[in-house]
Each structure stands twice: as C-alpha cells, then as structure tokens.
Structure 1
Amino acid sequence: MKNLGIIIFVFFAQVFSAQNVYLTKVEKTNENTDKFLYRINEEAKQAELLGEVEVQGFSKDDAEVFSLIYKKAKEIGANAFSLKPFENIDGSPQAFNPSNYKLALYYLPKDKFLNQTGNIFLFASSDKDQKIGVNKKDYTLSPRSYIIIKVVPGELYVISTKKLLGSTIKLQPKQGEISQYFQISATKIKSDDTGVGGINLKSGDIIGLEKSYGEFLSTIYNKEKQSN
C-alpha cells in the first residue's frame, strides 16, 4: 500500500507540473518539405490555415516546448504560425498567459513572408534583470523579455553582456541579410575540466538561435519598450 501511495503521488505530481501541447484543430494538411516554422502577422490573411495547437501548463524549458509545437506543426505540414489570443466575454482579446495559449498553424509560400531582414533580436532568459550593451548603449532586460535592434547594413554592431568574464560578439549585417537572433544566458558556474581543479565562472553567454526558435521566443516573451 505504501508503494502504491508513492506511485499515485508521483503520477499526480507529473500531471500537474507537466506542460502539454495539443493539436486541437486540423482543418487540412499540406505536403511540403519546409523545415522552418516562422511567425507571421499580416501575412496570415493570405496564408492557408491548417490547424491550431494549444499549450497548457508553464515550463522554463522553452526549447522543449518549441520542439513539441514544431512536431505538431509538421504533422500537418505547417511552416508558419501566429498567436491566437483567447477572448473575453465581450470579444476583446485576453492578455497573453504563458501557462495557456493557442497558436494558429499555417502554410505560406516562401516568397510571401514579410519583414524577414534587417533586425537583431536579443532575448533575456535569466530570472534576474540583465544588462546588455549594444554599441556603447546600455539596455536592461527583465526576465523573459527581448529587444529588437534595427540595423543599418554595413554598420558594425558590438554586443556585450556588460559583466566581468562576460561575452562580446561583433556583427556587420549586409543588405538583405536575414534577421539574427541571440539569447543572453544567466551566469554559469561549472566544474573545471582542465585537470587543474576548481570551477569556471561565465558571466553571461550570448547564444545564437535558429530563426524558427527565435521567432517563437518573440511570441511568448515580452517586448521591452525602447527609447530612440
């Protein structure tokens, strides 16, 4: 009986802590070999609606959540998505809830996607505010938020985590170059693997993201207000 009680407890703990992704509606399917899954806005008017996916439960593992959504989307041939807000009784859209949201899934020809170039997206995943420097201008990002840097082709952009032992990258986007996405990770402490012993301290890594995943984060993270 004691073991049975433990099993039941573990089962319910997993049920209530797990994040579930459901394909809640399938209008049709599309046969294509597209590997990407991009966010769309006004393009949705000319896209082919294939279905809807719903996320229930919150998880800090955004990569795993996106992986589940991606698999559901590819089951019906979707290569694009948009947030579909839940509605209040009066028909107005509800505020985004990271614990429960719905995405509409579409197919859109590659040449119909808009606004795919000319930006650098910077995401903060830490549980604390993080400072980022871009060409000597400082930004403070709250947890699970992001900013968009509109680039000038040919100009050099130096991005820094503004911390001791932190990372710095340099970018020089070309005309028509696809937008780039980066995530600023929290401070990491790990064991030293040099054989000497001790720890390695890394105060903020700048990690390049695949475009599909970056566009997903821009949907579920908060966009910070930026001054000119």
Structure 2
Amino acid sequence: MIKNLAVAISIFCVHLYNAQNVYLSKVEKTNDNTDKFLYKKAETTLGSEYLGEIEVQGFSRDDAAVFSLIYKKAKEIGANTYSFKPFENIDGTPQVLNPSNYRIALYYTPKEKLVNQNGKLYVFASSDKDQKININKKDYLLTPRSYITLDIIPGEVYTISTKKLLGSTIKVQPKTNDENLYFQISSLKVKSDTSGIGGLNLKSGDIIGLEKSYAEFLSLIYIQNKQ
C-alpha cells in the first residue's frame, strides 16, 4: 500500500510539474477575421490593432499542446499576431521570458501589413536533450529548448543530419529567400499534423518540418544559440 501511495504521489508530482494554465487575462476588443494563422509580430510591423493579452502559468515540456491552447484563446478574440509582453522588475526594467510564467499581447494585423520573411533556416532542439546535428558538413550542438538560424542562399542544397547510427538526413533546396524554413530535431516519436494549423506538416524520422505559426512560437520561448 505504501508503495502504491508513493507511485501515486510521483504521478501527481509529474502532472503538477507539467501543469499549464493558459487564459485570456485582458480583452480590449475583438475582431471577426477568419485568419487561420497566428504569427509573431515583428517590431517594425505597423497598423496592428491591439486586442488583448494571454498569460501562461506553469511549465510544460509539451510545447505543441501549449501553443494549441494559446492559438484557441487568441482565435476567441480574432487575433492573428502576437508579441511578448514582459513583466517588470521592481525597478521597472523588463524581465526576460520565463517559460513557467509569461504574457503575450494579441493583435489583429492586416495581411498587407505583415513584414516579409528574410530567408532563414531555423533548426530547433527538442525540449529535453542535448543533440548533435550536422548542416552541410558543419557540426552543431543544440542544447534543450534552443535553436540556430542560417541565412538561406537560393538554389543551395541544405543537408541536415542528426548524426546518429539510425538517424535521419534530409535535403532541402529553397528556390528563393522570401520565406523561412523551419525544422525541429525530435528525441521522441511525434505524429505529424496534417491540418496545417499550429502543428507539424512534415516528418522524416527524427527531423520534423514545422508549420510557420508553431515555429514562430518556439522562436519566442526558446533561446537562440549563436554558433
């Protein structure tokens, strides 16, 4: 009985550690647009309409599930863009993003006001393990919850490998640098999402192609590793 109680307590602690509360903390106004995307708003974007705020409380390793909750809350008031809104220290200076508790401001931005992509290749680590990868014969070490970026050269072939005995290798050849490419190195078996809304749209072994909305969310909560 004591053993069963210990197991139950352990399971409860795991659930508590991964508990996540995502809620609309402020609603200024709503918008009736039907845009399916939810992009991170660039600082240079003009003409955005402020709608409200979301607060995330509690840490979870399941970033896709967290983004799904944020996406649903954002769409309740018609948001299609967002930005990080830091809490303030006692002296008024902004705090860095804490993945266990953060705020994002929600906006509606007309499509013609969205800033064009600048042609980068993003590669995200998983949320829990160091991973070695190779891109065009150069090695990189990705620490948990980090990412790297490389400038895209149109027409160049990019070979991404996970450097494992049974790991994956993919090749991509972007024709232009008008869009970004997003991939994540997964340490888990992940089922691809074919909806095209805030999920995964390509999988090759342990290298996953990410949908833009979800990838931009990861670029907010992960740390850029400048190697």
Deviation at 1:180, TM superposition (A): 1.5
Q: CA deviation at 1:128?
A: 2.3
1:164 Cα offset (Å): 1.1
Q: Is the 8 A contact 2:123 2:185 kept in 1?
A: yes
Q: Is the 8 A contact 1:123 1:145 kept in 2?
A: yes
Query: Cα 1:164–1:15, aligned 2, differ >3 Å: closer, same or farther?
Result: closer
State the Cα deviation string for residues 73-108 of structure 1 (Å, max 9, x = none): 000000001111111111111121100000001111
Partner Cα separation in structure 2 for residue 109 and residue 87 of structure 1: 30
Give me the whole-angstrom Cα distance separating, in 2, the residues matched to 1:19 and 1:86: 18
Runs of 4+ in 1 over 6 A off after TM superposition: none
CA distance in 1, matches of 2:171, 2:18: 40
Question: Which structure 1 residue ranges, 5 or more long, are not aligned?
Answer: 1-8, 189-203
Structure 2 residues without counterparts, runs of 5 or longer? 1-8, 190-204
Cα distance in structure 2, aligned partners of 1:187 and 1:15: 21
Aligned position for 2:174: 173
Which residue pairs with 1:140 in the alignment?
Answer: 141
Match of 1:87 in 2: 88
- What is the root-mean-square deviation in Å for CA atoms of aligned residues? 2.2
| CA distances 1:43-96 after superposition (whole Å, capped 9, x unpaired) | 455311111000000000101100000000000000001111111111111121
Q: Tell me the SS of whatever aligns to 1:159.
A: strand
Range 159-168 or range 44-53, more displaced: 44-53
Mapped contact 2:153–2:177 kept (Cα < 8 A): no
TM-score of the pair, normalised by structure 2: 0.83
TM-score (norm 1): 0.83
- Secondary structure at the aligned position of 2:74 is classed as helix
Structure 1 residue 57 corresponds to structure 2 residue 67: no
Q: Distance in 2 between matches of 1:225 and 1:126?
A: 18
- Once the two structures are superposed, the pairs formed by residues 1-228 of structure 1 within 5 Å of their partners are 17-186=18-187, 205-226=206-227
Name the amino acid aligned to 2:33. Answer: N
Contact 1:52–1:105 at 8 Å: present in 2 too?
yes
> Hey, what's the Cα distance between the residues in 2 that align with 1:27 and 1:15?
32
Taking structure 1 as reference, are residues 180 and 112 closer, same or farther at Cα in structure 2, changes over 3 Å only? same
Q: Secondary structure at the match of 1:98?
A: coil
Aligned length: 203
